[in-house]
């Protein structure tokens, strides 16, 4: 009996935290032929290079992880942030539809203003308070307009052992200084990139191989709207709580001082509360989501002698 031909899956942002996490897990999914692409393959700042890239290749699914993520810098580079997070996304959404490819798009909690008092669900009204959030919200809207079969996954506070993120910054600064000030009045949930990547692969498998729940399949086939989901780890904390856990688990003696956001002004305003409800994604795909402290411990364990 012949084996089925693997589904061709493009992952953009191969050098990012989620992209690298997906690459590390790809071998566990032989039903997919993954193609990882970074800026060297096609530049999101140029619609011509995007079109040229897709003109020569056809995919069954596109996991669009690439984004302009420099939240503060976006305030001074609005055109570039808009091109990458909005206009390029609109282009990719149209190309995905033309190829009949499933599009999975990573978005952010920053599409919300942070004024809620309970976790945001997928139907909550978006109202970004910084330019980065505006461009990601506009990217969502472009997908909704161009590609009704796409999936949008909003997440928050992403970190992993790779690259620049809050955990690695705290590890570095904690070893260099005796005391640090960390904001305590911004509330949300950290997301360990490998956990998010694993969830995306469950979604991908369900959608392309057909093992998703009947309820979700029925909804997607009859609803004209894009399916939006939220994914973070379980639990809730402030940046101060998060830093404290990093130092505790890594046995770093640096003292932490909690400060208000007003005491640490930044070019881009951050939402004060961005907790995301994960009820829908757990029900739709049967996910068991780890608590953020459990995932942080796994991340620090992988750091090996760096701790």
| Dist. CA 181–CA 170, nearest whole Å | 11
Is residue 212 pLDDT above 50, yes or no?
no
pTM equals: 0.92
pLDDT in tens, 70-94: 999 999 999 999 999 999 999 999 9
| Segment among 45-59, 117-131, 172-186 with least mean pLDDT | 45-59
Kind plus residue range of the DSSP H or E element containing 64: strand 61-64
Q: Which of the residues 68, 105, 110, 132 is marked catalytic?
A: 132
pLDDT band at 292 (very low <50, low <70, confident <90, very high): very high
What pLDDT was estimated at residue 134?
98
- Contact indicator for 200, 23 with CB cutoff of 8 Å: no
Q: What is the pLDDT of residues 118-167, one digit of tens each?
A: 999 999 999 999 999 999 999 999 999 998 889 999 999 999 998 899 99
How much of the chain, in percent, has pLDDT values that exceed 90? 85
Contact partners, residue 153, CB within 8 Å, separation at least 6: 104, 105, 106, 107, 196, 199, 200, 203, 228, 229, 230, 231, 281
pLDDT reported for residue 298: 96
pLDDT beyond 60 at 13: yes
The answer to whether the beta carbons of residues 71 and 132 sit under 8 Å apart is yes
Give per-residue pLDDT as tens, 247-268: 999 999 999 999 999 999 999 9
pLDDT at 216: 41
Tell me what pLDDT residue 162 has: 84
Residue 97 has what pLDDT?
95
b vs e for 243-274, b when ≥16 Cβ sit within 10 Å of the residue's Cβ?
bbbbbeebebebebebbeeeeeeeebbbbbbb
CB 275 within 8 A of CB 120: yes
In this prediction, residue 217 carries a pLDDT of: 40
Domain spanning 7-164+191-233+276-289: CATH superfamily: NAD(P)-binding Rossmann-like Domain (3.40.50.720)
Task: Name the average pLDDT for the chain.
Answer: 92
Percent of the residues in the chain that have a pLDDT greater than 70, as a whole number: 92
Q: What are phi and psi of 278, to 5 degrees?
A: -110, 10
36 DSSP β-pair partners = 11
For residue 285, is pLDDT > 80? yes
* pLDDT the model gives residue 68: 97
Model pLDDT, residue 211: 53
d(CA 224, CA 219): 9
User: Is 132 an annotated catalytic residue?
Assistant: yes
Tracing tokens 């997928």 back to the chain, one arrives at: 122
């Amino acid at each position: 009996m012949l084996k089925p031909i693997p589904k061709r899956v493009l992952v953009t942002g191969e050098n990012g935290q989620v992209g690298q996490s997906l690459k590390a897990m790809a071998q566990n999914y032989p039903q997919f032929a993954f193609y990882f692409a970074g800026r060297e393959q096609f530049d999101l700042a140029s619609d011509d290079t995007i079109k040229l890239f897709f003109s020569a290749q056809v995919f069954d699914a596109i996991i669009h992880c690439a984004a302009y993520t420099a939240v503060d810098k976006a305030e001074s580079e609005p055109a570039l942030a808009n091109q990458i997070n909005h206009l390029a996304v609109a282009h990719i959404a149209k190309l995905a539809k033309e190829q009949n490819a499933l599009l999975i798009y990573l978005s952010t909690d920053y599409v919300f203003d942070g004024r809620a008092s309970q976790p945001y669900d997928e139907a909550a009204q978006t109202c970004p308070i910084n330019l980065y959030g505006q461009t990601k919200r506009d990217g969502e809207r472009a997908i909704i307009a161009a590609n009704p079969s796409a999936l949008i996954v909003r997440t928050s506070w992403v970190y992993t052992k790779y690259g620049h993120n809050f955990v690695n910054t705290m590890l570095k600064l904690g070893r260099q200084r005796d005391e640090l000030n960390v904001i305590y009045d911004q509330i949300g949930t950290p997301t360990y990139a490998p956990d998010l990547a694993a969830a995306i692969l469950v979604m991908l498998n369900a959608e392309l191989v057909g093992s998703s729940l009947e309820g979700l399949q029925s909804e997607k086939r009859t609803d004209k709207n894009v399916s939006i989901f939220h994914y973070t780890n379980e639990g809730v904390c402030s940046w101060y709580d998060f830093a404290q856990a990093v130092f505790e688990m890594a046995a770093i003696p640096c003292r932490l001082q909690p400060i208000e956001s007003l005491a640490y002004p930044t070019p881009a305003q951050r939402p004060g509360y961005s907790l995301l409800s994960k009820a829908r994604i757990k029900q739709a795909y049967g996910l068991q989501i780890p608590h953020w402290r459990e995932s942080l411990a796994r991340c620090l364990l992988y750091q090996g002698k760096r701790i």
